[in-house]
Amino acid sequence: MRIALVVPGGMGADGVREVIPALLSLIGRLTVRHEVLVLATEQRASPGAYVLRGARVLALGRYGRGPLGRVRLGRRAMAELRDFRPDLVHAMWLGSGSTIAALAAWRLGLPLVASLGGGELVALPRISYGGARSWLGRWHARLALRRAAAVTAGSRTALQLVAGRRLDGRWLPLGVERVEEADLRVPARGAGDPLRLLVVASVNRVKGPEVVLGALARVHRAFEGRAHLEWIGEDTLRGSSADLASALGLAAVAVFRGLRPHDQVLSAWARADIAVQGSHHESQGVAMLEAAMAGVPLVGTAVGLVAELAALEPPAAIAVPVADARALADAIVDLAGDEERRRHMGGAAREWALAHDADWTAATFEALYAEVTRR
């Protein structure tokens, strides 16, 4: 099968920087049995072509803002797809890229698969987040959802957003690479050891840094200064979260590492006691799935996969109300004080992650591709 993937980015040429590891894992598995072309609409300013995980990647380049630039981008994408002659087009994320994918699929008479990837269907004006805040964002999403032969979402909570527009949405999270048990190095905590909390996410408003730091302040007091937070991810707020940590008296215990290579992220999970999520919205939360794969228990706001894993029996996470720093802190303190519960919850999360790993995701997408092309 010839598969065309249209993504905004996450496909950095060196496979290390500006990448989405779960997306690379999917592509690497698809290329074993299929020919894959990836069109990256926002990856870089100038056009470029390279091979990544066995797929040919065409970074279309940004032709400037405004309607004329998007028309040029669309025309180049159409030409590339016409030359590639795919069997289907898959738009990852709904936006200008999914509109290009939808129009190309329509012009070429091909089925379209559309995957919800972030906040395309939400509007959170208080933090200036969400594609649904603008008429253009709503139009892009509406077109993709209307034209797609199949629509997927990475969590049950995200699928509820799709259900208002499509009753046939598919639950299909992006799984992560399997970590064998022999490779796990999650240490047990001694009575006097510091509590090691880890957040892996971009430092931006939707990730709730004020919620995480508010919770950390309470946890820090409860543990008499023996709680430490490490945050790994690009800081898009230009240091304002570190300034908030200083104002709360947490400068010595809250460390913002910035963007780090993926192998360093995996090593950080192996050192963590609890994975923390403070997000106001998540369509899935791939980082929390990586924590689950490492057997690290999850405590976070009730969005994305954290909400889903918390609803399992036995629970594989703890979910608290969105924007509630007090509830987040109380959940962290309670879990940190119960070693057996922490171990069982981490084990349940790992079992779920193993059952829905990158191999499972690729096989499920392949079955979906076969279904829509048979139609």
Give the pLDDT band (50/70/90) at residue 76: confident
Residue 60 and residue 76: Cα distance in Å, rounded? 7
Tell me how far the alpha carbon of residue 74 is from its chain's centroid.
26
Q: Residues 121-165: pLDDT tens digits?
A: 999 999 999 999 999 999 999 999 999 999 999 999 999 999 988
In terms of CATH architecture, what is 181-355? 3-Layer(aba) Sandwich (3.40)
Please name which of 7, 225, 261 lies closest in space to residue 115, comparing C-alpha atoms: 7
Asked if residues 4 and 81 have their Cβ atoms less than 8 Å apart, the reply is yes
The residue with tokens 């995996």 is 266
25-44 average pLDDT score: 95
The pLDDT value given to residue 78: 87
Q: Residues 211-243: pLDDT tens digits?
A: 999 999 999 999 988 999 999 999 999 999 999
Six-digit token pair at 45? Answer: 């300013």
Q: What does each C-alpha distance from 177 to 60, 194, 290, 346, 350 come to in angstroms? A: 28, 29, 8, 17, 12
| Region for 15 from its dihedrals, namely left if φ exceeds 0, alpha if ψ lies in -120 to 50, beta otherwise | left
* pLDDT of residue 174 exceeding 90: yes
Residue 112 and residue 41: Cα distance in Å, rounded? 17
* pLDDT of residue 183 exceeding 70: no
The pLDDT value given to residue 103: 93
Give the pLDDT band (50/70/90) at residue 15: confident
Please name which of 337, 325, 300, 330 lies closest in space to residue 315, comparing C-alpha atoms: 300
The strand ranges marked E within 93-218 are: 112-115, 150-153, 170-171, 195-200
Q: Name the more confident of 189 and 258.
A: 258
Give the pLDDT band (50/70/90) at residue 193: confident
* pLDDT of residue 184 exceeding 80: no
- Three-state DSSP state, 16: coil
Beta strands 170-171; 150-153: pairing state:
parallel
Q: 2-175+358-374 maps to which CATH number?
A: 3.40.50.2000
Please name which of 5, 9, 1 lies closest in space to residue 100, comparing C-alpha atoms: 5
DSSP label at residue 169: -
What is the pTM for the complete model shown? 0.93
Q: 2-175+358-374 with 181-355: one CATH topology?
A: yes
Asked if residues 328 and 278 have their Cβ atoms less than 8 Å apart, the reply is yes
Give the pLDDT band (50/70/90) at residue 181: confident
> Which of 16-20, 167-171, 184-188, 315-319 has the least mean pLDDT?
184-188
* 209 prior amide bond cis, ω within 30: no
Asked if residues 116 and 156 have their Cβ atoms less than 8 Å apart, the reply is no
178-205 average pLDDT score: 80
- The full set of domain ranges for the chain reads 2-175+358-374, 181-355
The pLDDT value given to residue 185: 54
* pLDDT of residue 68 exceeding 70: no
112-116 average pLDDT score: 98
Q: What does each C-alpha distance from 234 to 13, 99, 257 come to in angstroms? A: 18, 28, 8
Q: Name the more confident of 184 and 233.
A: 233
Six-digit token pair at 289? Answer: 């799935």
Tell me how far the alpha carbon of residue 305 is from its chain's centroid.
10
Could you give the dihedral angle defined by the CA atoms of residues 336, 338, 339 and 342, in that order, rounded to the nearest 10 degrees? -70
Give the pLDDT band (50/70/90) at residue 251: very high
Please name which of 154, 166, 161 lies closest in space to residue 120, comparing C-alpha atoms: 161
The residue with tokens 């290329």 is 31
Asked if residues 143 and 96 have their Cβ atoms less than 8 Å apart, the reply is no
The pLDDT value given to residue 299: 98
- Three-state DSSP state, 266: helix
Strand partners, 318: 299
The pLDDT value given to residue 66: 63
